[in-house]
Structure 1
Amino acid sequence: MTQQPPTPEHHAEAHAGVTGATSSWAAGGTVFAGVVLLVDGLLNILKGISSITSDDIYARINNYVYRFNLTGWGWVLVVLGLIAVITGLGLLTDALWARVLGVFMASLSLVANFLWLPHLPLWALISIGLDAWVIWALTAHRSPRSPVL
């Protein structure tokens, strides 16, 4: 009697107890990531518009290492916000391109919020934490129809 090599189904059944809880967290996290990117994109658009129209509403930091023009930064926020909204909508439809772009957008958002830290410290720290969650959720879970890379 010859021994058959294990099938992917057998492998999945053997590890279902180990990865089941993590997988359900990651699957729910993917939906959460889509919503976070959608809302964060909308908020970035609003922050960008307020920075473009009146950059006096943000704290002036004179000795900060990363100084930049707040009006120019506002345009960057508007563009990144639009891309994040589109990516969030794509994640809610479970599109593979949105998963890849979502990790990239969350990484950009994490860096942008680090640079934005002296202007809105509490919100920047909250956004950095949410961006880290989005990156984890999008890289930890792969839906069954996603191709193996």
Structure 2
Amino acid sequence: MPDNGRQRSAYDSGLVMGDALFAGVAMTVSGPLSVLLGITGITRDSVFSPPGYAYRFDLTSWGWIHLVIGVALFIVGVGILLDKGWARRAGIVVAGISVITQFMFVPYYPVWSIIVMTFDLLIVWALSRSLHPAASAGR
């Protein structure tokens, strides 16, 4: 594109917009929250009351699971905000895994898990829409 003497706007910086922007920001918020949840489980805090059910793991195991997923969510979220080619598909995968682990964690901390599952499903939806620009062009 030829230089017409106009200065480049901050909005033309090459960063993502729309659904991908929402997903990237959501993942960079959700990731650290999952990391905090993981640290809570690893330190064996008395916040969680583990019931007897089919997906019962040691709280330290749950802590490590949430910690790893939280780090992955944050890294992929930053990748989405920087418009990296791999990040959108990876975001769908990581947010999907997060939904599954939060579902399995519902008996331990139900309100938190349901809120995070909803957040993760919105991330998957937004990233799925952002993969197909033609689908969102009609807005």
Fold agreement, TM-score > 0.5:
yes
Map 1:39-54 to 2 at 5 A: 39-54=29-44
The structural deviation recorded for 1:29 is: 2.1
User: Are residue 128 (structure 1) and residue 105 (structure 2) matched?
Assistant: no
State the match for 1:75 in structure 2. Answer: 64
Which consecutive unaligned segments of at least 5 residues does structure 1 have? 1-26, 145-149
User: Are residue 101 (structure 1) and residue 96 (structure 2) matched?
Assistant: no
State the match for 2:137 in structure 1. Answer: none
The structural deviation recorded for 1:55 is: 3.9
The structural deviation recorded for 1:68 is: 0.6
Which structure carries more helix by proportion? Answer: 1
The Cα offsets for residues 24-73 of structure 1, whole Å up to 9 and x where unpaired, read as: xxx522111111111111011111111111242202212x1211111011
**Aligned sequence identity (%):** 39
2:101 is matched by which residue type in structure 1?
A: A
CA–CA distance in structure 1, aligned partners of residues 126 and 107 of structure 2: 28
Q: How many residues align?
A: 117
State the match for 1:140 in structure 2. Answer: 129
Aligned alpha-carbon RMSD (Å): 1.5
- TM-score for the superposition, normalised by structure 1: 0.73
State the match for 1:11 in structure 2. Answer: none
2:54 is matched by which residue type in structure 1?
A: V
Map 1:17-36 to 2 at 5 A: 27-36=17-26
State the match for 2:4 in structure 1. Answer: none
CA–CA distance in structure 1, aligned partners of residues 48 and 71 of structure 2: 22
- TM-score for the superposition, normalised by structure 2: 0.78
Whichever of the two has the greater Rg, that structure is: 1
4+ residue segments displaced more than 6 Å: none
Which consecutive unaligned segments of at least 5 residues does structure 2 have? 1-16, 134-139
